[in-house]
Amino acid sequence: MGLGGTRSDYTPPYEFLTKNPNFGRTRKHGEKTARIPNVLLVLISARIPNVPRPARRSSSILPCFLVVVLLTLIDESFSLVPNPMPLPPINDLTCIVTGSTSGIGREIARQLAESGAHVVMAVRNTKAANELIQKWQNEWSRMGLPLNIEVMELDLLSLDSVVRFAEAWNARLGPLHVLINNAGIFSIGEPQKFSKDGYEEHLQVNHLAPALLSVLLLPSLIRGSSSRIVNLNSVMHYVGFVDTEDMNVVSRKRKYTSLVGYSSSKLAHVVLKVFIV
Active-site residue list = 262
**Residues 272 and 201: beta-carbon distance below 8 Å:** no
Sign of CA dihedral 193, 194, 199, 205: negative
The residue count for the chain: 277
CA distance 61 to 59: 7
Angle at 210 between CA 207 and CA 213, to 5 degrees: 145
HSE of 242 in the Cβ direction (CA atoms, 13 Å)? 14
Q: How far apart are CA 185 and CA 102, in angstroms?
A: 12
Which residues have a Cβ under 8 Å from the Cβ of 124 and sit 6 or more positions away? 153, 154, 155, 156, 157
Contact 183, 233 (CB under 8 A): no
